[in-house]
Amino acid sequence: MTDTFLIGMLVLAAGLFAVGLFGVLARRAVLFQLLSLEVMLSGPSLAFVAAGARHGDPAGQGMFVLVLILAAAEVALGLALYLRMARTADVTDSDSIRDLRH
Amino acid sequence: MTLGAIILLPFFGGLVALFANLIWPRTDRWVALASLVLGMAALIFVTAQGVLTGSSAAGIEGEAGRWLALHRSDWAPALGVQILLAMDGLSGVLLFLSLGLGILTVILSWNETEKSALLMAALCWTVATSNGVFLAFDLLVFAFFWELMMVPAFLMIAIWGHGTREATAIKFLIFNTIAGLGLLAAVFYLGSTSEGPVTFDAFVIAARDIDPTVQVWVLAGFALAFMVKLPVPPFHAWLPDAHTQAPTVGSILLAGLLLKTGAYGLFRFPAMLFPDGFAVLAPYGLILGAFGTIYGALVACGQTDAKRLVAYTSVAHMSVVLMGICGGVHFSMMGAGIVMVAHAFSASALFLLIGAIYDRVGTRDIRQLGGLQRNAPRFAATFALFFSATLAMPGTANFLGEALVITGMFQVNWVYASITLISLVISVVYATRLFQRVVFGASRKAEVKQDLTWRELGPILVLGTGTLFFGLLPQGLMVALDPAVNAAVGAIQAVTK
Amino acid sequence: MTLSPALILLLVPSFALAAFMVLGLYPYTLRRRQVHIIALLGGALPLLIMAPLTGLCAAGHCLGVVPIFTLTVGQSVVALALTLDPLGATIGLTVSAIGAAVLVYSITYMAATSLADLRRFFALMNLFLAAMLTMVLAGDSIVFFLGWELMGLCSYFLIAYNTTSAESITAGRKAFIMTRVADAYLLAALLLLFLHANSVRLDVLIPASATLDATMTIVIAALLLGGALGKSAQVPFHTWLPSAMAGPTPVSALLHSATMVAAGAFLLMRFAPLMQLAPAVQVAAAVLGVATAAYGAMSALFQQDVKRLLAYSSISQIGFMMLSLGVGAPEAAAAHFVMHAIFKSLLFLAAGDITHGCVEGTDLSSMRGAWTRKPVSYVAFVAGGASLAGLPMITAGWWSKEAILSAVQGFGAVGQVLWLGAVLTALLTGAYASRAIMIGLMPMRDSDMPHAGNVHRHEAPRTGTIWTNLPLMLLATGAIVAGVLVTPIMHFLGAEEPHASAFSVYVAAAAPLLGVGLALALVFVPRLSEGLRNVRAISRKARKMPRRGEGGPQSRFVRLALWLNWGMRFDGLYQVMFVRPFVKGVRWLNGYGSAPADPVGTWPMLALVWLQQKITAPLAPDWFDKLWMWGAAGVVRLWALVRRVQTGRVRDYGFAMAGGIAGLLLLVWGTP
């Protein structure tokens, strides 16, 4: 693949990352934050794959599998926390759980 | 070394007396008495030796026949401080006075029960430090004893006094210490600004030629300390309170001894060390003295507390001493010396009598006293004697001194002589006020029933005999004071000629 | 064995002094008899020594100046000395004689006093006698002044003898203060003379005064005059003498009539050569003398108390002596001194005896009926009064007064005026003396009759004892007969008897007789006697000057008489001029007014305290502590800011992490 393509892919990846970051920061509902986190994760994974494709290194795709595993674990944890939150405090608002503050 | 003994014997005697009671009860007074008597013996020995041999003036040139004893030994050579003690007629007379009054006060407080050991120690230390002042001719040692003198007096007022004694003792200490700062500053200045090695030796400094303007300032420092001690208005505010709140023996030593140290300082050091400065400042001293003698007399005329009244008369008399010294002529300075001695006798006796009355009836308010003539004739008779001494009745030493001062004042300026004469007239007003309120009349609220005991009468007789003796046969006293007066007058005249 | 002259002269006052010391200082009790004996010895022995000494002097062997003691003061030699010269001998003999008489009289007069008080009395009287004799015999100014002041001190104690009476004490104090002022003048004069002559001996001082310059001579002479005026109770220093009558009668007789008050005149007699060098002062002395004499006589005329009457009389008679000294006739003054001592002490002693134990005390009404009650004393009083009045030829007072008047008349133009004043005074003297005598002839009023209710039993008089009668009789004889001594005394003192014109002698003789007539008029002319009764009532009760028109009939006369009764209100004047301002000033200084007590002492202290507060007040808070605490507070504020980072919100932490990582990446990869 050519460099311009790689750059294009990296820009797309950065864009995905930014969108995901924005979503995490801008949304209050935990579910949407988790969704945004997935989107964020897709960004670097695209970057990995694109870079692997460019250099012909399979490690890129291997990193993608790692990211998938990471995403799965993190979603599981996040959903568990979300369920916990919804059941005990009956809120879906991440802003409202802030007892660990001053 | 015997000169040192005159200071050290009372000092160590006081120290030992402090702990003597631990060894055997009631020995503190015996120890104190013994040390003072021994000190007196040493003094007699030194005087006799000085008079008979007349040669112990080693080390002081040009003053042959004047100094009776001299002692010089090193103390801190690096700082230029030596133990330089010298005695001439003037200091001799004052030393006799000091030790004599010390013995009298020890006898008077023989039966004191409260903290008697400390009292005996304080009495001895007052005598010792005053002796140091009278003998020291190394200026730093002089300033050392000067400051030290106030400590035992402070103790006496604060512990055995009456009324607001702690506050008064602190006021006394602060006043005199601030005044002593002037002395210290002057002494340090003198010691440090020498061309040769640092020395505080008064004789060396006397021989030095000090710039007249500098002399004025240094003399002002010295004079401040002495005038506060004298005391001269406007620096006298500590005296009435100190006398009122002090115990009887404290008042006796204060009036008879401590005030004389100020007079001694004025007599000795200005003429010896700063003749030019003295010539400049003497007129102001005369004005202060003139004001003080009238002011003290006037305030005394309105007092209701007997001790305060006598305190203000002390202010008046010591202002006469100041006038005499500042007059700078032989008559007035001799008169000042005699008034010093006479006032010691008469003021001490009056304080003794008033203290005896206070012990009996618990009040010194003359509006409550009276009728002493009826109940206590011995009281009345002795009061009459010292009443006439305060008035300066001829026959008492007080009159002799004041008459000589007036004679000297006529030589200086007749206005000052008139002012002293006016003060003599006012003395009748306050003396009769005290005397007739206490002795005459029917007793008012506080009736004195018990006459003077022999313990009180003894010291009174000694003081009375002294007053009359020096009033009628003053030749001995004059001979003793003459060399010092001549030296002072000579130094002053040498400058003013 | 020859006694040295010094020793003999010293003995004269020594016995009296020894009596004082024994009576005053002996610590154990003496019985009454012993006290009497010691006192009498003290009084009589000086007389017994003085008499032969005077005789010796009269025979021409005066001892002159006898040094007893020498002091060296600096360059000057001070020689204390006694002297026996004609003046000293005369006065000394008089003083010792009167002293002896009064002490003898006192033995019964003071019989009712307690033993302790009696001892005090006799001790002080003897001390006084010793002091006066010392002064008289003094050969140098120091011994002179010693005696002079000691007399003043004794006077104070003796006037205030009754120590429980506020009146006596105040009178004593007043006397002491006024005489002290005079003493100050005298001391100044003596010291100035000492400085000039460089010696204290009188026989050196007085001649040396000739070399003084003119101003100094006048100053010293004026100072001496001031001293004399004060001691002798002359105008303007006279107000103490009438009050001094609060003392017992023997005190008044000895001190305040015969001896001490005449000491001022004696001073001027001693220093007469000096006074003659200052004619201005001499004239002043003469004028003051005659003025005082007139004043005293006028005031005496309207007194209601016999002792006060006699006190003003003394003021008046010593004015005569001053007059004589002022015209340069000290010898006549000395003669009058002797005569006056005799008749004045006689008058006091007699009046004391007559009024002893009476209800009204020494009020004139106590004199009533003296002729019947106490004939001896009354006769003595009459003799004294006649001598005082100077009844011509037959009394001693006439001769001495005549000598003075002759001397005055010979003084020139001024002398004529002075002579006139003196004659008028003699007239008034006759008047008041006669008035007192006449009252003695009047019968007692019922209210004055002594009966159980109104006689002070504790003062029960013992009349007719030898102790009272003998001195009275001797003095009475002297008052009549001693006139023959006037000329010898004047010759003894070295003066010729002055000659006077016959006219002046007749006028002077007529004056006292006219005075007697005036007294008769005062007593018997109804308007005048009624006026006097009003005066009496007012002076005793209201003690206030009635306004014009009040005071009953003869109000002008009453007001004049009251004014003179009160001594022309000099006392009040001095109260206003001196006493009140002094007391006000003293009270202000002692804090009774607005200022704090002892202002000169307190203000520096207050200033110091204010200064100290001004200096320490800004420093009172601990600035370093404040600094530290401000730092600590800053830290707290910082924390308040910083803690806001911990919001507890996941999103904020996420943002921070993202921002931080972005920053780090930029830092690592973005910068070269």
What is the pLDDT, as a whole number, of residue A37?
A: 92
Specify which residues B82 forms β-bridges with: B74
Shortest distance, CA C180 to any CA of chain B (angstroms):
6
Residue C592 — φ and ψ, nearest 5°?
A: -80, -10
Tell me if there are at least 3 CB pairs under 8 Å linking chains B and C: yes
Residues 6 or more apart in contact with residue B415 via CB below 8 angstroms: B290
Q: Give the C-alpha separation, C168 to C672, whole Å.
A: 120
- For the whole prediction, is pTM greater than 0.95? no
What is the pLDDT, as a whole number, of residue C3?
A: 61
By C-alpha distance, the chain B residue nearest C605 is B237
What are the tens digits of pLDDT across the range C257-282?
Answer: 888 888 999 999 999 999 989 999 99
What are the tens digits of pLDDT across the range C537-586?
Answer: 777 776 677 666 665 566 778 888 888 888 888 888 898 899 999 999 99
What is the pLDDT, as a whole number, of residue C663?
A: 92
- Residue C383 one-letter amino acid: A
What is the pLDDT, as a whole number, of residue B64?
A: 53
Q: b or e along C437-461 (b: 16 or more beta carbons within 10 Å of the residue's beta carbon)?
A: bbbbeeebeeebebeeeeeeeeeeb
Question: What is the DSSP annotation of C305-357?
Answer: BHHHHHHHHHHHHHHHHHHHHHTT-HHHHHHHHHHHHHHHHHHHHHHHHHHTT
Q: Give the C-alpha separation, B303 to B7, whole Å.
A: 38
C648: which chain A residues are within 8 Å (Cβ-Cβ)?
Answer: 97-101
Q: Is the pLDDT higher at B50 or at C661? A: C661
Q: Which two tokens stand for residue B493?
A: 């005249």
What is the pLDDT, as a whole number, of residue C596?
A: 81
What is the pLDDT, as a whole number, of residue B185?
A: 92
Q: Does the structure show a pLDDT above 60 at C463?
A: no
What is the pLDDT, as a whole number, of residue C270?
A: 92
Share of residues in chain C with pLDDT > 90 (%): 39
- Per the CB < 8 A criterion, the answer to whether B92 and B99 are in contact is no
Q: Is the pLDDT higher at A52 or at C360? A: A52
Query: Is the minimum CB–CB distance between B422 and chain C shorter than 8 Å?
Result: yes
What are the tens digits of pLDDT across the range C173-219?
Answer: 999 999 999 999 999 999 999 999 888 888 888 888 888 888 899 99
* Tokens 């002179």, residue located: C144
Each domain of chain C, given as residue ranges in start order, spans 1-272, 278-447+461-524, 628-670
What is the pLDDT, as a whole number, of residue C333?
A: 92
- From first to last of the 497 residues of chain B, give the pLDDT tens digit: 788 888 888 999 999 988 888 888 888 889 999 999 999 999 999 888 887 776 555 545 555 557 778 888 888 888 778 888 888 889 999 999 999 999 999 999 888 777 888 999 999 999 999 999 999 988 999 999 999 999 999 999 999 888 888 889 998 998 899 889 999 999 988 888 777 777 788 888 887 888 888 889 999 999 999 999 999 988 898 999 999 999 999 999 999 999 999 999 999 999 888 888 999 999 999 999 999 999 999 999 999 999 999 999 999 999 999 999 999 899 999 999 999 999 999 999 999 999 999 988 888 888 888 888 888 888 888 999 999 999 999 999 999 999 999 999 999 999 999 999 999 999 999 999 999 888 887 767 777 778 888 888 889 999 999 999 998 888 889 988 988 898 888 888 888 76
Mean pLDDT value across chain C: 86
Shortest distance, CA C618 to any CA of chain A (angstroms):
41
Q: Does the structure show a pLDDT above 50 at C453?
A: no
What is the pLDDT, as a whole number, of residue B443?
A: 67
Q: Which of C592, C589, C460 is nearest to C113 (CA)?
A: C460
Q: Which of B337, B323, B278 is nearest to B413 (CA)?
A: B323
Query: Is the minimum CB–CB distance between A97 and chain C shorter than 8 Å?
Result: yes
A97: which chain C residues are within 8 Å (Cβ-Cβ)?
Answer: 648, 650
Residues 6 or more apart in contact with residue B330 via CB below 8 angstroms: B408, B485, B486, B489, C73, C74, C75
By C-alpha distance, the chain A residue nearest C647 is A101
What are the tens digits of pLDDT across the range C4-33?
Answer: 777 788 888 999 999 999 998 887 888 888
- Per the CB < 8 A criterion, the answer to whether B364 and C8 are in contact is no
- Per the CB < 8 A criterion, the answer to whether C175 and B428 are in contact is no
**Chains B & C: contacts with CB separation below 8 Å:** 126
What is the pLDDT, as a whole number, of residue B392?
A: 92
Q: Which two tokens stand for residue C484?
A: 């023959």
Three-class SS of B57-120: CCCCCCCCCCEEEEEEEEEEHHHCEEEEEEEEHHHHHHHHHHHHHHHHHHHHCCCCCCCHHHHH
β-pairing verdict for B81-88 and B67-76: antiparallel
B319: which chain C residues are within 8 Å (Cβ-Cβ)?
Answer: none
What is the pLDDT, as a whole number, of residue B4?
A: 86
Q: Give the C-alpha separation, C248 to C165, whole Å.
A: 12
Q: Please give the distance of CA C317 from its chain centroid, rounded to a whole number.
A: 17
Q: Which two tokens stand for residue B103?
A: 């013995």
- DSSP-assigned letter for residue C367: G
CATH fold of A3-90 reads Helix Hairpins (1.10.287)
What is the pLDDT, as a whole number, of residue C452?
A: 44
Shortest distance, CA B124 to any CA of chain C (angstroms):
31
Dihedral of CA C259/C262/C267/C271: which sign? negative
Each domain of chain A, given as residue ranges in start order, spans 3-90
- Residue C442 one-letter amino acid: M
Mean pLDDT value of segment C214-236: 92
How crowded is the C-beta side of C35, counted as CA atoms within 13 Å?
27
Q: Is the pLDDT higher at C373 or at C461? A: C373
Q: Give the C-alpha separation, C570 to C179, whole Å.
A: 16
* Tokens 């055995």, residue located: B160
Q: Give the C-alpha separation, C314 to C307, whole Å.
A: 10
Q: Give the C-alpha separation, C13 to C126, whole Å.
A: 9
Q: Does the structure show a pLDDT above 50 at A29?
A: yes
- Per the CB < 8 A criterion, the answer to whether B410 and C195 are in contact is yes
- Per the CB < 8 A criterion, the answer to whether C310 and C347 are in contact is yes
Q: Give the C-alpha separation, C539 to C554, whole Å.
A: 16
What is the pLDDT, as a whole number, of residue C456?
A: 46
The chains in contact with chain B, meaning 3 or more Cβ pairs closer than 8 Å, are C
Of A20-29, B336-345, B448-457, C474-483, the range with the highest mean pLDDT is B336-345
What are the tens digits of pLDDT across the range C590-643?
Answer: 888 777 888 888 888 888 889 889 998 888 888 888 899 999 999 999 999 998
Q: How many other CB atoms are found less than 10 A from the CB of residue B476?
A: 11
What are the tens digits of pLDDT across the range C511-541?
Answer: 888 888 888 888 788 778 777 777 777 777 7
Query: Is the minimum CB–CB distance between B424 and chain C shorter than 8 Å?
Result: yes
What is the pLDDT, as a whole number, of residue B292?
A: 94
Among C73, C80, C178, C608, pick the best mutation site for testing chain B contact (most B Cβ within 10 A): C73
A24: which chain C residues are within 8 Å (Cβ-Cβ)?
Answer: 651, 654
Q: Does the structure show a pLDDT above 60 at C451?
A: no
Q: Is the pLDDT higher at C453 or at C195? A: C195
What is the pLDDT, as a whole number, of residue C548?
A: 67
Shortest distance, CA C642 to any CA of chain A (angstroms):
10
Q: Give the C-alpha separation, B313 to C472, whole Å.
A: 47
Query: Is the minimum CB–CB distance between A36 and chain C shorter than 8 Å?
Result: no
Q: Does the structure show a pLDDT above 90 at C340?
A: yes
By C-alpha distance, the chain C residue nearest A100 is C648
Contact call for B298 and C145, based on CB within 8 A: no
Which of the four pLDDT bands, split at 50, 70 and 90, describes residue C464? low
What is the pLDDT, as a whole number, of residue C458?
A: 40
Q: Give the C-alpha separation, B404 to B482, whole Å.
A: 13
